[in-house]
Structure 1
Amino acid sequence: MGTRHESHDGREAHEQQTAHDGHGHGGHAHSHAPSADADRRYLSAALALLVLYMLAEVVVAFATGSLALLSDAAHMLTDAAAIALALWAIHLAAKPANARLTFGFKRAEILSGLGNGITLLLLGAVLLVEAVRRLVDPPQVEPKPVLAVALAGVVVNVAAGMLLARANRTSLNVEGAYRHIITDLYGFIGTAVAAAVIWATGWMRADAVATLIVVALMFHAGAGLVAQAGRVLLEGAPDGTDVEAIRAHMLEVDHVRDVHDLHVWSVTSDLPALSAHLVIDDECFHDGHAPRLLDEVLECLVGHFDVDHSTLQFEPASHAAHESGLH
């Protein structure tokens, strides 16, 4: 029978913890990331900024009877909702694990990123239909108030974007909210350019053309978020991970004869996990070398690939006949 080893037993547990804190082997990938508390502050400040601007737009929209301003306020509401969803996901991810959810709610941020990606795609589809309609039959647009609101929106979204850029954008959750803000920023820039063109030339279709450009950016951002979230939810190897390189490194460790059933996936952003069966020399089970061999393999995984959470099963060569199937 094989011998199963976890990377978080005894000293390995200490190494895993220090790696997450940026002091252990391979901790460099985590050492400069803002904390969850910092992320909350940045997201909360951006949310407050967007909500205040949105409320001001609603007041002005009703005061002037402008449907365009009211529609833009509705768009800002989706950005605020994206940030609120990101904050809720951070709150859930901080909850401790339990017997039913052994990793806790770590994947809440992935679901948040997926939700933000889908929202961008749906909103982009709605705007695409409206832009095509206005391209065919352009309505009259009063450029001066549109330009003023668009320029104010640029300032607000730049400020919100700068706040979110300081948060941990390696988190798919934060990245989803950030992309909402950036696409909205592009939207305001496009609106400002279109308003200036209409003001200067009277070409009303400029508004629809600017919207189509923004829709393309929304589709790109939304599709990227959905693809990244899908990779995690389908237990795919983290982006940029070379599974064969990991296998080759483990095979370079003395006494390791074969590596099979190698799986690499992400529990959530910045938390890659690995499991593998390692065939080792039979004498390692008798001369007490197996624990030292475990340390060497784990040091290889953490030091070269920044994989902190590993589950390894050591097997003698004779155990291969008892495997139910290699996968």
Structure 2
Amino acid sequence: MQDDAKPPPGGHAGHDHAGHDHAGHGHGGHGHGGHGHSHAAKVTRDSERRILWVMLLTLVFMLVEVVGGVISGSLALIADAAHMLTDLLALFMAWFAFRLSRRPPDPLRSYGYHRFQVVASYTNGLFLLLITAWIVYEAADRLLSPDPVDGWVMLVVAVAGMLANAGGMLILAMGDRDNLNMKAALLHVVSDLLGSLGAVVAAGIIIATGWVPVDPILSVVFAVLILRSAWIVTRRSVHVLLEGTPDDRSGPDRIAAILREKVAGVLDVHHIHFWSLTAERPLLTLHVTVAEGAAAAEILANVKKVLRHDLGIDHTTVQVDIGTCPDEMHDPHRQETG
């Protein structure tokens, strides 16, 4: 059996990732160490349920804002309702991603559908960036053409929205805070909370002074705050989708140095590929070279132990090469260059 150390997008071909057990073994100079765990990312029904509750809260308050905007004549409330519609779609996408991620692996997707969570968080991040641009555009338009607003109706609706969004934020914040999909959903709710807070402040100033331009000015301030978080979520999602090395882990050079230092019998470490299924689930494949006659099974077990205990990487596929790496022996480019 020969494992290709270079993973295809989203996983390895050639073995099931649905939660199997590999005992340490060596076949023709390579093998898999035992890891005895599910390769599935930790998608819980709790996260799914939290997203659903926030979706319902967002839907109810979006309808309240539409009615309040029509009664008060507030373009700000109607515009925020449109913003919440976008957030509702984003939350639905996050919820659907969790539902889809619970589907078991199949012959076409050996890791299952967990990567869809990252696609959803990337899309939600883009939504947040577009929302920020839209808020700035609308703010500029309102500064140029301010409309009269009923401050009291605006205040009542904004306070209700602030309470609803605060509840939604707490629901999500108490869930899985390491999951990119949950983080993106939380950012949407936080952006709504900031919008409601701004509407409360603006309504108070309008009631006290009649100065309408305060609404768009505060909108721009909150848009800048949203922009930074949106960029972080989008950038991290792209990094995972491009099979980037996990940010919070040691890089390939560091992994090779640690294995050479801590595992007796390892002569070389190469063909290292380190990526993530989701932001919380790092995956690693590599080759280690050992001398002829070395105890390959024992070295393999020690390599897996160091990767698990020293680096915190649970899912690894390790090929042990006896003397020379067979991939390099049959590499045409290597033969040409000597």
* TM-score computed with the length of structure 1 as normaliser: 0.85
Shift of 1:297: 0.9
Q: What's 2:116 paired with?
A: 108
1:248 to 257, 281, 287: 257
Q: Pick one of 143, 155, 161 that aligns with 2:163.
A: 155
* Residue aligning to 1:82: 90
How far has the Cα of 1:191 moved from its partner?
A: 1.8
Helix, strand or coil: the match of 1:315?
Answer: strand
- Cα deviation for residue 74 of structure 1 reads 2.1
SS of match in other structure, 1:141 = coil
Q: Is the 8 A contact 1:2 1:319 kept in 2?
A: no
Q: Could you list the runs of 5+ residues in structure 1 that have no partner in the other structure?
A: 21-29
- Equivalent in 252, 257, 261 of residue 267 of structure 2: 257
Partners of 1:163 and 1:189 in 2: how far apart?
A: 18
Per-residue deviation, 1:215: 1.4
Higher alpha-carbon deviation: 180-189 or 193-202: 193-202
Match of 1:265, SS state, is strand
Contact 2:265 2:291 in 1 (8 A): yes
Distance change >3 Å, CA 239–CA 96, structure 1 → 2: same
Contact 2:22 / 2:36 at 8 angstroms: preserved in 1? no
Kindly indicate whether the alpha-carbon contact (under 8 Å) linking 1:4 and 1:312 is maintained by their aligned counterparts in 2: no
Inter-CA distance 269–145: structure 2 relative to 1 (3 Å threshold): same
1:111-141 Cα distance to aligned partner (Å, 9 max, x none): 0001100101111111111112223443333
2:22 aligns to what? 9
- Aligned partners of 1:194 and 1:206 also within 8 Å: yes
1:211–1:176 CA distance, 2 compared to 1 (3 A): same
Query: What is the aligned length?
Result: 310
- Paired letter, 1:109: Q
Shift of 1:51: 1.6
Q: Which amino acid letter does the alignment assign opposite residue 214 of structure 2?
A: A
Kindly indicate whether the alpha-carbon contact (under 8 Å) linking 1:2 and 1:314 is maintained by their aligned counterparts in 2.
no
Aligned to 2:329: 322
Q: What root-mean-square deviation, in Å, do the aligned CA atoms of Structure 1 and Structure 2 show?
A: 2.7
Q: Who is 2:317 aligned against?
A: 311
Matches within 5 A, 1:171-182: 171-182=179-190
2:304 equivalent to 1:298: yes
1:246-285 CA-to-partner distances (Å, cap 9, x unmatched) read 222211211011111212100113211011111122222x
Match of 2:284 among 248, 258, 274: 274
Letter in 2 for 1:311: T
TM-score normalized with structure 2 length? 0.83
Task: Tell me if the contact between 1:116 and 1:176 (Cα under 8 Å) persists in the aligned partners.
Answer: yes
1:88-108 deviation line (CA, Å, top 9, x unaligned): 001111111112111111101
263-272 or 105-114, which deviates more = 263-272
Matched residues in 1 for 2:46 and 2:76: separation? 36
- Once the two structures are overlaid, the 10-residue window that deviates more, 189-198 or 265-274, is 189-198
Tell me if structure 1 keeps the 8 A contact 2:76–2:215. no
Secondary structure of 2:325's counterpart equals helix
Aligned counterpart for 1:283 among listed residues 285, 293, 308: 293
Distance in 2 (CA, whole Å) between partners of 1:290 and 1:116 is 47
Over 3 Å counting, the alpha-carbon distance change for 1:307 and 1:205 in structure 2 is same
Give 3-state SS (helix, strand or coil) of 2:274's partner: strand
Q: Does the Cα contact within 8 Å between 2:35 and 2:315 map onto a contact in 1?
A: no
Structure 2 alignment gaps of length 5 or more? 6-14, 25-31
Give, in angstroms, the shift of residue 310 of structure 1.
1.0
Distance 1:38 1:17, change over 3 A: same
